[in-house]
Amino acid sequence: MSVIAPNFKFSEFVKSILDNVFWILLLFTLIGIPAVQVVLFYIEMPVINGELLTPFLALTWLADPSRTLPILKAFMTTDLFRIAAFPGFGFAALIAAGTIFIERKMLAKLQLRVGPFYCGKVEGILQLMGDGLKLISKEIIIPAKADKPIFWAAPVIFVATAAAFVALIPVAPGWVVADVDVGLLAVFAIIGFFP
């Protein structure tokens, strides 16, 4: 069975890009801005020119680059940013998502599968989200005689070791989650936890 790619039309390509930009902007306004507001309430805000920065002031100052830079610097030095965003768990999740996306496209090319190439109109970008939703919605079956805390802890421990490996990567001076003196030895120790 041969798979014939549809004819490329530039107008449809531009339309698909505009569709994706529309959905990204819509999701950012519905999810991103409220999430930023929630995060701003939990960050210790800096004092700029003798004035304590409140979340409302921070959002109104985001349009002014001279006032945005201190906010970003204050956020980037928090432990929350180091653990969650970069080079912490969020960074590891983005690397994993990119690797899985490329792997799925290569396997689809080998197996002549159409879905990973055309799902979402632009290079199959929605295939990754579809796979994630499929994995989240799967039914969790726990055997009757299994030890439930250990059964639940196994995937958490696996994800924690993967994130711990990324936490040892020194990006710049002061930009590392776990600054240990035995860096390479700790990397090999964490790699040894996977089996």
pLDDT in tens, 132-145: 788 777 777 888 88
Q: Between the CA of residue 122 and those of 20, 24, 50, 126, 127, what are the distances in Å?
A: 9, 14, 49, 8, 10
> Residue 60: CB partners within 8 Å, gap ≥ 6?
none
160 φ, ψ (degrees, to nearest 5): -65, -40
Answer yes or no: is 148 within a domain: no
| DSSP states of 136-181 | HHS-----TTS-HHHHHHHHHHHHHHHHHHHHT---STT--SS--S
pLDDT score at 133: 82
Contacts for 120 with CB less than 8 Å, ≥ 6 apart: 20, 126, 127, 129
pLDDT tens digit string along 39-62? 766 767 777 677 777 767 766 777
Name the domain count of the chain. Answer: 1
The residue range of the domain holding 167 is 83-140+162-193
Instruction: Classify residue 171: in a domain, yes or no.
Output: yes
Would you say residue 52 lies in a domain? no
Q: What is the pLDDT of residue 195?
A: 67
Q: Phi-psi category of 3—alpha, beta or left, where left has phi over 0 and alpha has psi -120 to 50? A: beta
Whether residue 136 lies inside any domain: the answer is: yes
* 93 belongs to a structural domain: yes
87 occurs within a structural domain: yes
CA 111 to chain centre: 28
80-134: per-residue pLDDT in tens?
Answer: 777 777 666 677 777 777 888 888 888 888 888 877 777 776 777 777 778 778 8
Task: Say if 11 falls within a structural domain.
Answer: no
Residue 58 maps to a domain:
no
Dihedral angle sign, alpha carbons of residues 173, 174, 176, 179: positive
More confident residue, 153 or 35: 153
> Which run of H or E residues covers position 48?
strand 47-48
Q: How large a percentage of the chain has pLDDT more than 90?
A: 0
Angle (nearest 5°) at CA 80 between 84 and 31: 65
